[in-house]
């Protein structure tokens, strides 16, 4: 998701064929890549270690995000075609497929958050294993915490803002659904931080810190 300057209520934006091609192509490649990782983990026994298992969970989250974006793209093309479409920022477009839009938005927003959290978990595990020479990150309690943090927390956070999910084409985020574009801009910005940006920043900073710490330790 991308935050732009607060638009006036009559601002419009176009979504054209290149956006559709980029979304469909990148989603398809991500899905294929995820399937390759799934197959390599399933059919190559040496790959079945704990780090690879964590990578599998990360891949599941990325797969859901890619699949959700693909569904959003297909929905968009089905409803509006492949040509440019102007969306009024002050109006929320309701369609018969709105349930699909909200469901897709819920899945992709939660899975995207989950992906960043699993990335952080992998960073913590590698740091503990390499620097501290500890295997406590493999314990049953640690695994339980991982799943609660990386699956339950994203679902709970996104569920708490479910009523704010819908079409967001006005903000130029792509041909998928996200935070509704008819909400006040300051509210959209806050929701983006709650459901996406804050988690990204936390994951980036923490992972970078662990990497630097590992390098100089």
Q: What is the pLDDT of residues 163-205, one digit of tens each?
A: 999 887 766 567 889 888 778 888 988 999 999 999 999 999 9
Measured in residues, the chain has a length of 217
What lies within 8 Å, CB to CB, of 101 at 6+ separation is 72, 75, 95, 165, 166, 167, 177
Q: What is the pLDDT of residues 145-154, one digit of tens each?
A: 999 999 999 9
> What domains can be seen in the chain, in order of their start residue?
17-216 (1.20.1070.10)
Q: What is the mean pLDDT of residues 70-94?
A: 73
- What per-residue confidence (pLDDT) applies to 168? 76
The chain-wide mean pLDDT, for the chain, equals 85
Which range of 12-26, 41-55, 65-79 scores highest in mean pLDDT? It is: 65-79
Q: Phi and psi at residue 155, in whole multiples of 5°?
A: -65, -45
Query: C-alpha distances in angstroms, 178 versus 96, 116, 173?
Result: 17, 17, 8
**Tokens coding 195:** 């459901």
- Name the nearest CA neighbour of 123 among 15, 51, 72: 51
Are 165 and 102 spatial neighbours (Cβ–Cβ below 8 Å)? yes
Q: How confident is the model at residue 25 (pLDDT cuts 50, 70, 90)?
A: very high
- What per-residue confidence (pLDDT) applies to 216? 79
- What per-residue confidence (pLDDT) applies to 79? 83
- Adjacent-strand bridge partners of 165: 179
**What 3-state class would DSSP assign to 132?**
coil
């Amino acid at each position: 998701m991308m935050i732009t300057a607060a638009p006036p209520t009559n601002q419009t934006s176009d979504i054209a064929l290149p956006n559709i091609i980029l979304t469909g192509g990148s989603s398809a490649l991500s899905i294929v890549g995820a399937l390759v990782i799934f197959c390599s983990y399933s059919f190559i026994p040496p790959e079945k270690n704990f780090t690879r298992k964590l990578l599998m969970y990360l891949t599941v989250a990325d797969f859901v995000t890619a699949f959700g974006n693909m569904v959003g793209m297909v929905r968009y093309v089905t409803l509006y075609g492949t040509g440019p479409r102007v969306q009024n920022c002050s109006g929320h477009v309701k369609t018969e497929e709105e349930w699909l839009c909200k469901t897709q938005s819920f899945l992709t927003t939660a899975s995207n958050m989950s992906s960043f959290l699993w990335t952080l978990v992998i960073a913590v595990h590698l740091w503990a294993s390499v620097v501290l020479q500890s295997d406590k990150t493999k314990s049953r309690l640690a695994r339980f915490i991982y799943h609660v943090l990386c699956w339950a927390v994203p679902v709970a956070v996104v569920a708490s803002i479910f009523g704010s999910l819908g079409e967001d084409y006005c903000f130029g985020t792509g041909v998928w659904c996200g935070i509704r574009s008819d909400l006040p801009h300051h509210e959209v910005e806050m929701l983006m931080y709650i459901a996406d940006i804050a988690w990204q920043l936390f994951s980036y900073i923490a992972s970078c810190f662990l990497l630097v710490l590992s390098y100089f330790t």
